[in-house]
Amino acid sequence: MNKIQHINVGGYPFSINEDAYYKLDQYLVRLNNHFSHSDGAKEIMEDIEGRIAELFKEYMQGGSIVNMDHVNKMIQVMGTPENLGTEEEGETSSGYSEAYYRTGKRMFRDPYDKKISGVCSGLAHYFGIEDPTWVRVAFVFFGMWGFGILLYIALIFILPEAVTAADRLAMKGKTINIQNIAEKVEEEIAEMTEHFHEWRDKWKRKKKKF
Amino acid sequence: MKIENSIAQMKKGVLEMCILAIISEEQVYPSDIIQKLRMADLIVVEGTLYPILTRLKNNGLLEYHWKESNAGPPRKYFTITETGKEALKTLSSSWIQFVQSVNQSLQIKSNHE
């Protein structure tokens, strides 16, 4: 048994198996990223989607559901962003796509590791200091002259909070791509479940005391 | 590999000219263009073509119109514009010159060996 999704590709409705749907979705997102800095990116994607719809119709030949084989076959014809990169950009491709994916390290506040507002741990990520405690100690130390407190308050307002998975990757200076983000999200869900268990255990223990 | 990159660069350089040449013969649909380019071993995947077509169209070298198709969504059929014809003329004459001078320099090398 396989769950089915209903989608619209290039203005045409298709029923598609769930696994094939995820593959297609990921493929389109990657293509979209690849073309996002080209002229007329929207038009290019529309043309490609139109062609994909045509290919699906051709492959299905009276069948009614798009499956994984169809998607794989289509990707072979259209090409992955990697294929496109080497064909289209030639030697510049590697540097080009890397520059695009690697947005570079950016300064954020880390809401997952904070004492007050996450400024110190954000700075620690940025400067590659493993233990944010050192940054906190430094702030307290300089804070005695008043300058640190002002700087801290300013930073609360200047630095954005690293909310999304992409922000959190940029905060740690890691490359941003779909796989990375997916990993990050999984990691965070696991962390959340852990916190939840901890919290539940604590609560249970408290309850027992009464 | 560096050599593969150089070959890719060469192909990339002539691709626009070849596409213009194909379209100048008759109005065509992108997948017809692909078939011809594939036979000439200039292109492997279809996705490469769409950005080039869009660029040529935005620069006024190509035009397209929609045609209904029984195989799926309406298709874009491309034709060459007057500007496109001019560009193709310039490109192909400099290509011929280019080939001659490149061949000449290759000849000189092989004579020395």
Of A47, A53, A91, the CB nearest to B5: A91
The residue ranking higher by pLDDT, A96 or A204, is: A204
How many domains does the structure of chain A reveal? Answer: 2
Q: Which own/partner pairs from A135-144 qualify as long-range (CB within 8 Å, at least 24 positions apart)?
A: none
Neighbours of A35 (CB within 10 A): 23
Q: Which residue has the higher pLDDT, B44 or A145?
A: B44
Q: Tell me the CATH number for domain B2-112.
A: 1.10.10.10
Q: Which residue, of A101, A127, A154, is where some domain finishes? A: A101
The domain locations on chain B are 2-112
Q: How many residues does chain B have?
A: 113
Residue A98 has pLDDT above 50, yes or no: no
- When CB atoms are compared, the residue of A39, A84, A90 closest to B5 is A90
Tell me whether residue A170 is in a domain: yes
Q: Do A141 and A171 fall into the same domain? A: yes
Q: How confident is the model at residue A172 (pLDDT cuts 50, 70, 90)?
A: confident
Write down the pLDDT at residue A144: 67
Q: Which domain holds residue A19?
A: 4-101
pLDDT for A122 beyond 70: yes
Whether A12 sits inside 8 A of B54 (CB atoms) is no
Cα B1 to Cα A91: distance, rounded to the nearest angstrom:
9
- Region A45-66 average pLDDT: 88
Q: With CB atoms and an 8 Å threshold, state whether B44 touches A48.
A: no
> Are residues A85 and A130 both part of a single domain?
no
Question: Model confidence over A67-80: pLDDT tens digits?
Answer: 999 999 999 999 88
**Contact state of B8 with A87 under an 8 Å Cβ cutoff:** yes
CA A187 – CA A169 distance, rounded (Å):
12
Q: Which residues of B touch A57 (CB under 8 A)?
A: 71-72
In this structure, are A145 and A94 located in the same domain? no
Pick B8's closest partner by Cβ from A10, A77, A86: A86
Q: Are residues A8 and A94 in the same domain?
A: yes
Statement to judge: residues A62 and A90 lie in one domain: yes
Q: A34 in helix, strand or coil?
A: helix
| For the ranges A58-62, A169-173, B78-82, the one whose mean pLDDT is highest | B78-82
Mark whether A151 and A204 lie in a shared domain.
yes
* Side-chain-side CA neighbours of residue A88 (13 Å): 22
On whether both A70 and A20 belong to a single domain, the answer is yes
CB A20 within 8 A of CB A9: no
φ/ψ bin of A90: left (φ > 0), alpha (ψ from -120 to 50), beta (otherwise)? left
Cβ burial A179-197 (10 Å sphere, 16+ → b, else e): eeeeebeeeeeeeeeeeee
Q: Do A83 and B44 touch (CB under 8 A)?
A: yes
What confidence tier does A15 reach under pLDDT thresholds 50, 70, 90? very high
Last residue of a domain, one of A68, A101, A134: A101
Domain final position from A101, A130, A147: A101
Query: Could you tell me the sign of the dihedral formed by the alpha carbons of B57, B53, A48, A86, in that order?
Result: negative
Q: Is residue A22 part of a domain?
A: yes
Of the pLDDT bands very low, low, confident and very high (cuts 50, 70, 90), residue A210 is low
Its ipTM equals 0.82
> Is A38 part of any domain?
yes
For residues B64 and B77, the answer to whether their CB atoms sit within 8 Å is yes
- More confident site: A162 or B23: B23
- Residue A175: inside a domain: yes
Residues across chain A: 210
Of chain B, the percentage scoring pLDDT greater than 70 comes to: 92
CB-hemisphere CA count at 13 Å for B64? 20
Q: B48, A38: Cβ pair inside 8 Å? A: no
